[in-house]
Amino acid sequence: MKNKKIKLAISGANGRMGKILIKEALKKNNIILSMMLVKEIKNNKKNIKEKIPTYTCLNDKNKNFDVMIDFSEKNNTMKNIKYCIKHKKNIVIGTTGFDENQEKFIKLSSKKICIVKSSNFSTGINLIYFFLEKIQKNLINEKITIKEEHHKNKKDSPSGTSIEFGKIINKKLGKKTSKKEILKNKNINFISTRFGNIIGNHTISFSNKNETLKIKHVAKNRSIFAIGAIQSAIWSYKRKSGLFSMKNIIKRK
């Protein structure tokens, strides 16, 4: 793979993340941005500036890519996974808000293709995941607050990142890790705020009568997510199957 350029497709290319993914992908010498998927094409033209082929849907003729990065919408992501399975393409998923049946479908699909799926592709957030996995159990038994703030257009609440925090905590306590069970954990208080153009702020607080420990992450720009997703796409290239996350990519750096 040393001299091989990876052909990358971006789904949701007209969205907030899609535009930044395009910008970051074009900086990579080992990436060819070969295709973009959008809801609609204005004037039915290709991307004029970079001449990137752009489509509103997938068919058997526009499969000129090795790996797809999908930051679109959960039902659209399901269609993209099915297409990738059919044509033996790998996929990096940044979409969040999947229900239990969709999560099961993704897990089953990973037996056929390589899927990298993360609720958050920033290095900082994934380091917090590692910290939570190592934290002492007695601290987790204290009162926990997971607070997150996002822009007004974010649909899922609590955020996928907050649910992942809860999943790690529940697993540490020997509890079930489905979203339903995480939200039922009375020791965890989830607070979600949606306003303005906030990219993403997450704070975890562990409190008892004597002290409070807080872990906070502030996303200053969306490029951190795009860079992580592109790293994941490069990492997934030539892997045949399996379900992975950004944590796997960080461990192998």
- Is pLDDT above 60 for 187? yes
Q: What structural domains and CATH numbers belong to the chain? A: 6-121+223-251 (3.40.50.720), 123-218 (3.30.360.10)
- Which range among 166-170, 179-183, 205-209 shows the weakest confidence by mean pLDDT? 205-209
pLDDT at 24 over 60: yes
- Rounded to whole angstroms, how far apart are CA atoms 232 and 69? 9
User: Crossing angle of helices 123-134/160-172, nearest 10°?
Assistant: 20
Catalytic residue annotation: 150, 154
Token pair for 15: 């969205």
pLDDT above 60 (res 96): yes
Using CB atoms within 10 Å of the CB of residue 153, give its burial: 0 to 12 exposed, 13 to 18 middle, 19+ buried: exposed
Say what the pTM is. 0.84
Band of the pLDDT at 48, cuts 50, 70, 90? Answer: very low
**pLDDT tens, residue by residue, 50-92:** 578 888 888 887 889 999 999 999 999 999 999 999 999 999 9
Q: Residue 141: what pLDDT?
A: 67
Q: What is the pLDDT of residue 62?
A: 82
What is the reported pLDDT for 44?
45
Question: What's the pLDDT band for 140 if we cut at 50, 70, 90?
Answer: low
Span 210-248, pLDDT tens digits:
888 899 999 999 999 999 999 999 999 989 999 999 989
